[in-house]
Amino acid sequence: MRHAPIDPALFVSNRARLRALLLPGSLAIVNANDIPQTNSDGSLRIVPNSDLFWLTGVEQEESVLLLFPDADDERMREILFLRETNDLIATWEGHKLTKDEARALTGIDNVQWLSQLPQTLHRLACEASHLCLNSNEHKRAEVVVESRDARFVRWMQQRYPLHSYQRLAPLMHRLRVQKSPAEVALLQQACDITRAGFERVCRFTRPGVNEREVEAEFAHEFIRSAASFAYNPIIASGKSACILHYIDNNSPCRDGDLLLLDVAASYANYNADLTRTIPVNGRFSPRQRALYDAVLRVLRASIAGLVPGKKWRTWQEEAEDLVARECVRLGLLAEADLSVKVSDPMRKPVKRFFMHGNGHPLGLDVHDVGFLNEPFAPGWVMTVEPAIYLPDEGMAVRLENDVLITEHGVVDLMADIPIEADAIEALMARR
pLDDT band at 336 (very low <50, low <70, confident <90, very high): very high
Short-list 136, 138, 160, CA closest to 146: 136
| Mean pLDDT for all residues in the chain | 97
Residue 344, pLDDT score: 85
Cβ contact 100:70 at 8 Å: no
Short-list 132, 153, 169, 166, CA closest to 50: 169
DSSP 334: -
Residue 345, pLDDT score: 83
Short-list 368, 409, 429, 65, CA closest to 190: 368
Angle at 336 between CA 293 and CA 342, to 5 degrees: 100
Residues 358-389: pLDDT tens digits? 999 999 999 999 999 999 999 999 999 999 99
pTM of the model: 0.96
Residue 160, pLDDT score: 97
Neighbours of 320 (CB within 10 A): 21
Residues 6-26: pLDDT tens digits? 999 999 999 999 999 999 999
Residues 39-88: pLDDT tens digits? 999 999 999 999 999 999 999 999 999 999 999 999 999 999 999 999 99
pLDDT band at 314 (very low <50, low <70, confident <90, very high): very high
Residue 1 pLDDT > 80: no
Mean pLDDT of 287-309: 98
3-state DSSP assignment of residue 34: coil
Catalogue all structural domains in the chain, each as residue range(s) with its CATH number. 9-176 (3.40.350.10), 181-428 (3.90.230.10)
Residue 92, pLDDT score: 94
Residue 341, pLDDT score: 87
Residue 431, pLDDT score: 79
Q: How far is CA 93 from each of CA 90, 132, 233, 309, rounded to the nearest angstrom? A: 5, 32, 29, 49
Cβ contact 368:404 at 8 Å: no
d(CA 11, CA 302) in angstroms, rounded, equals 33
Residue 128 pLDDT > 90: yes
Cβ contact 165:134 at 8 Å: no
Percent of the chain residues past pLDDT 90, beyond the cut = 95
d(CA 214, CA 184) in angstroms, rounded, equals 28
